A and B are shown apart, each in its own frame.
Chain A
Amino acid sequence: MSLSSRVAGDARIITVSADRIDAAMAIQFKEDMRTQTADSTGRVILDLSRVEFIDSSGLGAIVASMKQLDDGRKLDLAGLTPIVEKVFRLTRMDTIFNLFPTLDAALSTETR
């Protein structure tokens, strides 16, 4: 399991402890996200600050993780390292997710 999670107010914070989300782990990541988000409602914040690399399969797994959430739940992303931010920007997925530079910035911002 490369994910750990905790609750902060109305939000569930999921921290990725792996240093990458790539094709070799994308399917497991999506399943782990399903497990981590199953027993809660409301906003999910994914802390990516330890993730130093993502490829298009990893990006697809994050998109799939959002789509498998119940209607109305939001997946926000925090702590993007430069290469992760670059992949989101080049694929225009930065227009779909709320991106925050740090977890604190995400927690101090209400999103819809």
Chain B
Amino acid sequence: MEPDHATDRLRLSVIATPLAARQAVSDLCSHVAKSGVAPARMEDIRIVLAEVLNNIVEHAYRPRAPGRIRVSVAATPELVEIELSDFGTPLPTRSLSARTLPPPNPDDLPEGGFGWHLIRTLADQVAYERRAGCNHLSLRFELPEHNASVSQ
């Protein structure tokens, strides 16, 4: 868990457990916040980071055999880029397909399935690739509100 000061990119290797994921979300958000991201956009980034890490913890690796997640984040005032990779099972492609969340049925309420909806809604770009037995997920958050405030 060493910060990479040379590129101002924070790189972490996280064991795929819920508590380690929680700590990683906190560390990554602290790094992003240093670039001056607006609080509302920080909320979005924190939600998405928690969801993508939890998905790997819960679905890519088996609970009793948590592998490693490599995650890095680079933040500038205009753009936040997050890269994740893991050696777990491939991501089902349906997770990435954009679709509208149907209104919840009060008589049959879902207790899950919200994670990818939140990721797709809040991130500006989501790209996934399975390469050499490894899952690679890239997320981009564009920060136009910063430019708007600077130009005033």
Interface size on B, residues (CB 8 A): 28
- B118: shortest Cβ distance to chain A, in Å? 6
A38: B residues at CB distance < 8 A? none
- CA distance in complex: A82, B18 (Å): 23
Provide the bound-state CA to CA distance between A5 and B103, in Å: 31
Not counting A60-B110, A95-B104, a sample of 19 additional A-B residue pairs whose C-beta atoms are within 8 angstroms of each other reads A23-B18, A23-B21, A24-B21, A55-B47, A55-B51, A56-B54, A56-B112, A59-B114, A60-B111, A60-B112, A63-B110, A63-B111, A67-B109, A86-B44, A91-B104, A91-B114, A92-B103, A92-B104, A95-B103
Chain A residues within CB distance 8 Å of chain B? 20, 22-24, 53, 55-57, 59-61, 63-64, 66-67, 82-83, 86-87, 90-93, 95-96
Q: B interface vs A, CB < 8 Å?
A: 18-19, 21-22, 40, 43-44, 46-47, 50-51, 54, 57-58, 101, 103-104, 106, 109-112, 114-115, 117-118, 121-122
